[in-house]
Structure 1
Amino acid sequence: MISDTPESWDVVETKERFSGRVIRVVTDTVRMPRDEVADRDYVVHPGSVAVLALDDLDRVLMIRQYRHPARRLLWELPAGLRDVAGESLVDGAARELAEEAGYRAATWHTLVDLRTSPGMSDERIRVFLARDLTRIPDEENGFVHRHEEVDMPVEWVPLPDAVEKALMGMIHNSPAVAGILAAYAASVEGFATLRPADAPEA
């Protein structure tokens, strides 16, 4: 059966190399097979959520945001950190959709779970499918955009066009690419095979 499974090898020692506002960098000395040990450096990350919002015309809501490490303006899905204590993943996704794009959704499903770069980070991203969308009036949405989120445009892209742009190398953000392709695949079955919004994480 092809399914990722939990596994944790013995950690002999952990050293913290860096601690910042969002991430930490650590080195674990891990006991390998045949009783060898090896150092593994990785980023400790709180995790993220992202939202593929799909309207009644099967268009994907996309935003464009500057990403400094990539030195690019990237087309992305509304997304954010899991940084509110006690907040469920779907509530965090709904908050991000409201704050970044000004929409709320009545129907939510788990679309796909990602490990962004498992060889160098423990970051997990859950991408949700949000449908039955309504615009939040400006006077009700008091979120103040700052830094990279200032003047962040919102565009609606037909789902087949978004798939083409991902495959042609025009969209590079990993949760956006994964979410677009997953939504396109799931649409064949009318989204009937998707997990509920509160599905447990593996």
Structure 2
Amino acid sequence: MTEQPRDFLADTPENWSVTATSTPYTGKKTGVRADDVVMPDGGTARRDYQVHPGSVAVLALDEQDRVVVIEQYRHPVRHKLWEIPAGLLDVPGENPLHAAQRELYEEAHVKAEDWRVLADVYTSPGGSDEAVRVFLARELSEAEGERFAVFAEEADMRHARVPVADLVRGVLAGRLHNTCLAVGVLALQAARAGDGLAALRPANAPWPARPFPA
């Protein structure tokens, strides 16, 4: 087996030719696109996928090694899921750090002084172009002012602070299923076991999937 260079394992941008495209549905925040894509054998294949603005999520870690989590009803899967604070990139080109700080305030009424990037992921690349940046937020404190007014599903949220170890066990036991929570807590454990949290990327690290002004 040929030994690969150490940095070969990286996703690479590529754009196969599209012979036809349409948007059969456009919703409030997302839509559906249908592309006829030229395959390597010369034929074409229809690919239908969700067009998504992108999201941010925040693993907020307190001084007792607990993570801020919320429980929210998710209708497509007919479950209440324990999650970390997260939300859409509502404004095109929005700085993801600013969006993450907003979501942490709105969903948990918490602010943080230290921010790092834990992971950048595509949530379901076979059927959606959604990209999510998961942040690590530390040095937490209560946000100032009144709590953000909640509505719809958010009016039924439960809040908790749960030890990292309990969340890891919950993910591995199949009790916790939210993508951002699972990615966040497992990435945190991997970072601690590897080069340490100080080696994580800075909060304003480039994000090619959702570019933003410096």
1:143 aligned to which of 134, 143, 148:
148
Q: CA deviation at 1:151?
A: 3.3
The gaps in structure 2 that reach 5 residues or longer are 1-7, 209-214
Quick one: distance in 2 between partners of 1:87 and 1:45?
14
User: CA–CA distance in 2 between the matches of 1:89 and 1:101?
Assistant: 18
Instruction: Select the residue among 184, 188, 204 that pairs with 1:198.
Output: 204
1:142 deviation in Å? 4.7
Task: State the identity %.
Answer: 50
Q: Which residue of 1 aligns with 2:184?
A: 179
**Deviations for 1:163-188, whole angstroms, at most 9, x for unmatched residues?**
00010111101111011100111123
Name 2:84's counterpart in structure 1: 77
Whether 2:12 is the aligned partner of 1:8: answer: no
- CA-to-partner distance for each residue in 1:13-69, whole Å, 9 max, x for gaps? 101111111111111001111321111010000110000000011111100000000
Report the Cα distance in structure 1 between the residues aligned to 2:161 and 2:177, rounded to whole angstroms. 17
Structure 1 segment 101-120 matched on structure 2, within 5 A: 101-120=108-127
Give the letter aligned to residue 183 of structure 2.
A
Computed over aligned residues only, the root mean square deviation of the Cα atoms, in angstroms, reads 1.2
Match of 1:124 among 131, 142, 147: 131
TM-score calculated relative to the size of structure 1: 0.95
SS of equivalent to 2:105:
helix
For the pair 1:55 / 2:55, whether they are aligned, the reply is no
Counterpart AA for 2:64: L
In structure 2, what is the Cα distance between the partners aligned to 1:146 and 1:9? 42
**Per-residue displacement from partner, 1:106-163 (whole Å, max 9, x unpaired)?**
00000001100000000000000000000124xx135210001003111111111110
**Which residue in 1 is equivalent to 2:161?**
156
Distance 1:141 1:115 in 2: 34
2:45 aligned partner: 38
Equivalent residue, structure 1, for 2:4: none
| Contact 1:98-1:141 within 8 A present in 2 as well | no
Structure 1 CA distance, aligned partners of 2:62 and 2:187?
Answer: 16
Tell me if the contact between 1:110 and 1:129 (Cα under 8 Å) persists in the aligned partners. Answer: yes
The answer to whether the 8 Å contact 1:99/1:141 transfers is: no
Residue identity in the other structure for 1:197 = A
**Does the CA contact (< 8 Å) of 1:62 and 1:76 recur in 2?**
yes
Within 1, Cα distance between the matches of 2:49 and 2:95? 26
Q: Which moved more, 1:93-102 or 1:30-39?
A: 30-39
Change (3 A) 1:101 1:142: closer
Distance 1:26 1:87 in 2: 23
- When normalised by structure 2's length, the TM-score is 0.90
Give the structure 2 partner of residue 68 of structure 1.
75
Aligned length: 200
